[in-house]
Amino acid sequence: MNKTLFDKVWDKHVVHSIKNGPEVLFIDRHMVHEVTSPVAFLGLKKRDIKVMYPERTFATADHNTPTINQHLPVKDPLSANQLRALEENSKTYNISYWGLGHKKNGIVHVIGPEYGITLPGATIVCGDSHTSTHGAFGAIAFGIGTSEVEMVLSTQCIMQQKPKSMRINIDGSLSKGVTPKDVALYIISMLSTSGATGFFVEYSGDVFNQMSMEGRMTVCNLSIEMGARGGMIAPDHKTFKYIKGREFAPKGLKWNEAMKYWKTLFSDKGVKFDKEYHFHGKDIEPMITYGTNPGMGTSILKGIPKSNNIDGGGQTYKKSLEYMSFNEGDKMIGKKIDFVFLGSCTNGRIEDFRSFAAIVKGRKKAKNVTAWLVPGSHMVEKAIKDEGLLDVLKEAGFELREPGCSACLAMNEDKIPPGKYAVSTSNRNFEGRQGPGSRTLLASPLVAAAAAITGEVTDPRSFF
C-alpha cells in the first residue's frame, strides 16, 4: 500500500491500537526543559516509579535562564528554584542534564539537531509546542503537555490519535531577500492560525529541496502556528550530511543500518493526502506581521488588510489592531520601532546571525533601537565568534547576549516594555508574549536587521 512519509514513521512506532481510541506511540527521544517538567517528575515521585529509559531522555535549561552574566547565581528566586528542580530531578533519575553554564546548553530545539539527537524516522517529543522544529529531519516531532511528559518519562509512550495528513507544495524558487521565515509566515497567512489544526503537514517541492537544513528547521518550527501538530520534510543528502559525525548520531555499522531505513523515508508516488495546497516561490515576498497572531502577516510592501476582508473575525480583528495601535489600511513600511530581537528556536541559528550580520555590516544601529541578539546555543555563540561575525556586529553597535529563549517568551528579565514595538525573529506575536503590553512584529533576520539600522520597518532589499 502507498504510504506518506508520516505514515511510514508513525506505523513503525505503534505499540498498541485501542479500538475506537488513540494509539500507543513509542517515543524514541524525549527532550525535557525546566518549565513543563517539574509537575511531571512530581507525578513520578507520587507513583514511586522511575524514568523508564533515561538514555532516551535529554534535559536542558533554556526558557527561564538569564542571557547575561550566566556565571552568576540566577537572581529570580522562582526561576532559580525551577532550574534547581530540573537539576535535582535529572540527578535522581539519571538523565543527562545540560544546565546553565554547561557547554552544550542552549534552546532545546537548537541543541537537539546540533548534537545529533534529532534523527530521521524518529519520534521526538518535548513539553514545548515548537518541538515541530525537528520535523526538518524527517522525524515525527511534536509538543506535548505536562501530563504527557509524565507518560513519556514513566513509560516512553504517549497515547495519540493519528492526525490527518496535509501536504504543502511550493514550487519554483525564492527571490533574493526572501527567507525560510518568510515562506512560513506566508503559508500561515494563507491558511490562518487554525488552518492546519488536526493535521500533520509534509512540506515538499523545489523551494524546500533547495532550502538548507537550518531553513527547513525554521519552516517546520512554525508549523504549530497554523495549528498543525507538526511538520516534516523528507530527508535527503543534505540531511544525512548534516547529521553525520554528530555526537549522538549512529556511527559505523549502525550508521549504515540507519541509512538503509532513512532512505525509505519519503511519501510514495501517488499517495493521497487528506488535504493538499500548492503555492509558488515567486509569489512570496519578505513578510511582517501586524496583529496579535502569527496568521496576521503580510508582504512587507503591503498595508494592513481592511476588517471587512477578514472572514468572520471582525471583532477579534479590531481588538487585535487596537492592541497594536495600528489602523486598517496602514502601510507597514516606515512604522517606527523600539526593539529588535534576533534569536529563538525559530531564528537563533548561525545562518540567521550570518543574514543579520550581512545587512548591518559597515552600517550603524539606529540610536533609538534596543537590540537583543541571543544565540540559540553555545555552539551558535562559538560559531558567531569563530566566523568573525561578532566583530561585524560590534562595529555596527550591537552586543551579543548568552544563549536561551530570552524575549521569545519573556520568562526571564528580557521583556519588551509595555507599548513598545519590537521586530522579532521569534514565533509568536500574541498579546504580552514578549512582556506585558509589548507589541511584536514577527519577521525574518533580514527584516530585523534592516529595522535595527533604520529604526523603522524597512524592506531589507533596499540594502542589497
Partner 1 sequence: MSYEKFTILKSSAVPLPIENVDTDQIIPARFLKATERKGFGANLFRDWRYESDNTPKKDFVLNNEKFSGEILVGGKNFGSGSSREHAAWAIYDYGFRCVVSSFFADIFRNNCLNIGVLPVQVSPDFLKKIFFEIEKNPKIEFTIDLKEQKIIISDNNFSTEFFEINNYKKQNMINGFDDIDYLINIKPDIKKFANKMPL
Query: Minimum Å distance from CB 427 to ligand SF4?
Result: 5
Question: Is residue 2 a contact point for partner 1 (CB under 8 A)?
Answer: no
Residues 126, 131, 134: CA angle, nearest 5 degrees: 120
Chain positions 331 to 390 lying near partner 1, rule: CB under 8 A, are: none
Query: Minimum Å distance from CB 172 to partner 1?
Result: 30
- Which helix H or strand E contains 151, and what residues bound it? helix 146-155
Classify the C-alpha dihedral 299-366-326-184 as positive or negative.
positive
Residue from the set 144, 184, 287, 450 that interacts with partner 1 by CB under 8 A: 144
User: Can you tell me which residue has the cell 527521544?
Assistant: 29
Coil/strand/helix, residue 57: strand
Chain positions 419 to 458 lying near partner 1, rule: CB under 8 A, are: 428, 430-433, 436-437
Residue from the set 2, 11, 18, 364 that interacts with partner 1 by CB under 8 A: 18
Q: What is the CA radius of gyration of the chain?
A: 21
Chain positions 322 to 351 lying near ligand SF4, rule: CB under 6 A, are: 344-345
Residues 134, 260, 223: CA angle, nearest 5 degrees: 20
Coil/strand/helix, residue 376: coil
Count Cβ neighbours within 10 Å for each residue of 337-356 and write b for 16 or more, e otherwise.
bbbbbbbbbbbbbbbbbbbb
Q: Is the Cβ of residue 53 or residue 463 nearer to partner 1 in the bound state?
A: 53
Q: Is the Cβ of residue 201 or residue 446 nearer to partner 1 in the bound state?
A: 201
Residue from the set 60, 65, 67, 82 that interacts with partner 1 by CB under 8 A: 82
Question: Is residue 409 a contact point for ligand SF4 (CB under 6 A)?
Answer: yes
Residue from the set 223, 320, 427, 454 that interacts with ligand SF4 by CB under 6 A: 427
Chain positions 305 to 324 lying near partner 1, rule: CB under 8 A, are: 312-313, 315-316, 319
Residue from the set 59, 107, 125, 304 that interacts with ligand SF4 by CB under 6 A: 107
Residues 6+ apart with CB under 8 A from 309: none
Question: Is residue 128 a contact point for partner 1 (CB under 8 A)?
Answer: yes
Distance (Å, whole) CA 292 – CA 228: 18
Chain positions 398 to 417 lying near partner 1, rule: CB under 8 A, are: 409-411
- Which helix H or strand E contains 203, and what residues bound it? strand 199-204
- Binding residues for ligand SF4, rule: CB under 6 A, are 62-63, 107-109, 128, 130, 344-345, 405, 408-409, 426-427
